[in-house]
Structure 1
Amino acid sequence: MPSPQQARAQASAITSTSGKAVPEADASPTSRLRELFDGPRLSPGQRRIAQYLIENITEAAFLSITDLADRVGVSQPSVTRFAAAVGFSGYPALREKLQSIALGTLAGGPVAAEENRSNELQAAVDAEIQNLENLRRDFADPGRVIQVGRELSRSTPLTVVGMRISVSLAEYFAYAARRIHPDVRLVTRGGSVAFDALLQSREAGGTWVLAFGMPRHAQETLTAIRVARGAGLKVALITDLALGPLVDEADVAFATGTGSRLVFDSYAAPGLLAAALLQAMTDADPERTQARLEEYEQVADQHQFFLKD
C-alpha cells in the first residue's frame, strides 16, 4: 500500500503554480519532483539531496546509491533515510520513480532541463509569496497581534528567546524593541544561562517572554519555555507549526510558514510577523515610543552611529 506521500506523487493531476490542476504528464519534471519532496519536513542534508536531484535529474536518476552519495557529498545511509523521508521503501523504489520523471525531462530536450534548473530560485520566491499571502489572511483580524503587542510592551523587563537557527530573528526583534522599550533582555544560549536570565527577568518584574521556534526546533527552546512558565512568566511564541511541543507549552502562539525550497529555510513571513508585533508595541504606548525614538536619534547623531545619506 503506498504511503500518503507516494499517493500524492502518483495522483493523476497536480497543482501548477497558477493554482490550476494539470495532468501529471503535462507537468514539468521539476514540478513533479517538488511534489515528491515538498510534503515532508526534510533536514538540511536531505534538502541537499533533493536539490541535487532537481538540478541534475536526467543524470542523477540513473546513479547507484554509492554514486549519488558521492556526488552530493553525503553518506549512503543518508540517501536511504532520504528515500524513506519522501515516502519510499528504499532507494531502489525512489530511483524507479526518478527514472520515469527523467525520461520526461529527456523528452523535453535540453531547453526544458535548463528551464527547470533556472526556475528553482523562482519557485523558492513563489513559496514565500504564498506564505505571505497566508499571513495576510491571518492579519484580517489583527486582534491577537495587537493584544500580545500590548502585553509585551507592558512587561518590564521583556525577555526575547531564540536558540540555534532562531537566533537571527530574536536578535532582530530585540534590537528594534530596545529602541522603544526600556528593558529588553535577549537569551540566545540554553542551559543554566537561559535559566538564570529567565529567573532574573521574573524577579525584576517581567511578565512576558517572546520566543522564536523555527525548524529544526531546538530542545533548548522547549526547555526555556518550560522554565519561563514555571517561573511565572507568560510565553508568546512565533513558530512555523500550529501544533507540536512548543505550541503546547506556550500561552499564545503565532504560526506562519517558512520557506523550505532551498537547503536552509527562509523567513519572510516570520520576519514580517515579528515586525507586526513591534508595531503593536509602538502603538500600545505612543508617548513612550516617541520619546525614546527622539532620544535615540539625538544620541545617534551625537556619536555618528550611521553614515550620512
Structure 2
Amino acid sequence: MYVYIYNGGRKEVEVDMSFCNEIKKRFIRLSRGQRKVAQFVIDNPNIIATHIASDVGKLIGVSESTVIRFCYAMELSGFSELQERIKEDLIGAKNTDIGDHPLITKKQEPLFSNVMNRDITSILNTIQLVEENQFEQTVKWMHESNFIYVLGFRHSSPSASFLSNTLGNYRRHVKQIQHDVEDIVQQISGMDEQSLLFVLALDAVLEDVLTITKIARNKNVKIVAITNSGLSPIREYADIVFTVGAQKQASAETIIASHSLIHSLVEGMVAQNKRQYTTFQKSNAQIESNFLFLEKTKII
C-alpha cells in the first residue's frame, strides 16, 4: 500500500496489489501441478508474457492443460488473460518510481513476515518436488541400515548436524563425517552395503564431498542426496536425490526447507516401528539425565 499526502490530508491508495500477490494468496489451495505453474509465473513473469501456453508447460514440465487449469483456478478466462495481467504488472513496475517521490511513502512489510513467507514458499515448493516412492524408499533404508553416515560441509553443515543429531535421538550407529582427513579415512573404512550415506549438498559441492561419495558408491553404500540445485554434480552418484527450496534462492535460504524434509524423513523412519524408536529415545534421554546428575554431583 502507498500513502499519498496532499492538502494536509491523507489518502491511501492500493497500487501494489500485483497479480503475483493474488497467486501467493491462493497458492495453498492449488493442486500440485498448478502450484508448479504458480511458482513459475511468480519467478518468471517475462517468460509468461512472451511465450505461448504450450511452451510454458514444457519449460515447467507440465501439460498445457495444467497451465490452462491454473488460469481457471485463478478465475481467469484463459492463458491470454493471464498474459495481459502479467504485462500490466510489468508495465506498471517500469512506469512507477514511487520511492523517489517526496510526498509518497511506502508501507514496508515487516521483516519477520517477509522472511517467514519466503520460508513458507520454499517449503511448499519442496513438497511439489518430492517423489513419494523415493521418500518411502529412503525411509525404508533409514530403518533397515546398520549404519547411517551424514556428510555435509560449509553451508550444508547445519543441515548435516540437524540430521545426525535428530537421528541420534532415535537409533544407534549414526555418524556425522567431519572435515578432517584422518576422521574421513576412518569413517569410509567402515562403510559397506548395509550402510546408508546422506549427502547434504546445499552449496557448491566440494571436491572432498564428491570423492567421499564416489568411494561410498564403489562400496555399494546406499546414497541419498539433498540438494538445492537441479545441476548439482552429486546427482551423478546418488541413488535418490531430493531437491529443496524455491527457484533462485541462496543456499542459506534453503536450510529451513531442508530441515523440514529431514524432519519428515525421520518421522517416516519412526513410523516403521514406533515402539522400537520411542523406547530407544526414552532410554537415551534417561542416560543423558543420569550423566547430567553425575556432573552436577562432581561440581558440588
Q: Is the 8 A contact 1:158 1:201 kept in 2?
A: no
Aligned pairs, number: 212
Match of 2:101 in 1: 107
Is 2:149 the counterpart of 1:188? no
Give the CA deviation at 1:151: 0.5
* 3-state SS of 2:190 partner: helix
Aligned to 1:271, which of 238, 242, 259? 259
Q: Distance in 2 between matches of 1:198 and 1:222?
A: 13
Is 2:211 the counterpart of 1:223? yes
Query: What is the CA deviation profile of residues 68-127 of structure 1, one whole-angstrom value per residue up to 9, with x for unaligned ones?
Result: xxxxxxxxxxxxxxxxxxxxxxxxxxxxxxxx7894421374522xx35x5555333222
RMSD, matched Cα: 3.4
2:188 is matched by which residue type in structure 1? L
| Runs (5+) with no aligned partner, structure 2 | 1-17, 25-41, 45-93, 294-300
Q: Is the 8 A contact 1:190 1:224 kept in 2?
A: no
Identity within the alignment, %: 14
Q: Distance in 2 between matches of 1:296 and 1:190?
A: 28
* 3-state SS of 1:299 partner: helix
1:197 is matched by which residue type in structure 2? Q
Aligned to 1:131, which of 122, 127, 140? 122
2:256 is matched by which residue type in structure 1? A
Match of 1:198 in 2: 188
Is 2:275 the counterpart of 1:281? no
Map of 1:36-55 to 2, 5 A cutoff? none
Match of 1:122 in 2: 113
| Runs (5+) with no aligned partner, structure 1 | 1-13, 21-33, 37-99
For normalisation by structure 1, the TM-score amounts to 0.58
Match of 2:52 in 1: none
Match of 1:232 in 2: 220
Match of 1:62 in 2: none
Map of 1:1-309 to 2, 5 A cutoff? 16-19=20-23, 103-107=97-101, 109=103, 111-112=105-106, 115-116=107-108, 119=110, 122-138=113-129, 142-189=132-179, 191=181, 193-202=183-192, 206-257=194-245, 264-304=252-292
2:270 is matched by which residue type in structure 1? T
Give the CA deviation at 1:291: 2.4
* 3-state SS of 2:101 partner: helix
For normalisation by structure 2, the TM-score amounts to 0.60
Given the superposition, is the C-alpha separation of residues 262 and 252 from structure 1 closer, same or farther in structure 2, using an over 3 Å criterion?
closer
Query: What is the CA deviation profile of residues 183-238 of structure 1, one whole-angstrom value per residue up to 9, with x for unaligned ones?
Result: 11111316564243122233xx6421011111243333222211211222121011
